[in-house]
Structure 1
Amino acid sequence: MTATHTPRAHSAKYAWAGGLTVFAAVMLTIAGLLDVFRGIMAIAEDDVFVATPDYVFEFDLTGWGWVHLALGVVAVIISLGLYQAALWARIAGVAVAALVIIANFLSLPYYPVWSVIMIAISGFVIWALCVARRDDVGL
């Protein structure tokens, strides 16, 4: 029996994969809640948001708020599935994190630092969900 096939190495592999899934779940929950709050602020037409003239991707503030609110709610629901290590949640988590990246890319000129932070969080979610194989997580 080689060192990589010992029961201890096998359990460490499961712990590493499970830890990445929990990391993705926590980060997706945070990103989802932040998107929910951002969406609510935009729907309420809060004075927090600035208007950038002459931007190619110009959106109505209320419509933009609904997009972020919907993405945030979906992200939180998917993160609940990730806490259960469900395969559907891993697949949907990658998809919704990609959509969050796109939505934040579109709002990059309005809030560059915030958008870059959200893009980075979503990138880590995608990485964490894709690096652990299905059989490593125990699905």
Structure 2
Amino acid sequence: MTVTNVLIRILRNYRHMGPGKFHAFVLKIVRALTDNPKIPASTWGANPNLLATFLEVGAKYDGVYHKANYGSVLDISEREILQQQLIAYLDEMVADLEAESVRNPEILIYCGFDLAKERRGNTRKKIAHAAAEATVAEHYTDNT
């Protein structure tokens, strides 16, 4: 199979995660992106401070997450606010990584995000098959 038949994209499943899974996901992304030589600094060209800001807010989220486990309403609300900020940063990072993957497709493997493969050829065959079935069905209804 050639690379042209497969489109790899980053899943944005972090938007709907609960606090525990989101915390583990953020830690995974922090580990994957910290001092990673496979991801050049030019990836964040539009916003060079994006990674540093994400790492800073991610560390803050880690501390607040653990404090919120004790049930403090203030800590829980701060955790929710930080989670929304991190989601916004993750969305920006995903856009930058996908743009960079046009030139360097391997970058997606090292970024730590969950990936999905979309096979273009399979989708085209399904569309063509559905169109052929519609034509046949239309032909039978016209003749009856």
TM-score, with structure 2 as normaliser? 0.46
Which has a greater percent of strand?
A: 2
Report which of the two structures shows the higher radius of gyration computed on alpha carbons. Answer: 2
TM-score, with structure 1 as normaliser? 0.48
Higher RCO, 1 vs 2 (CA within 8 Å, ≥6 residues apart): 2
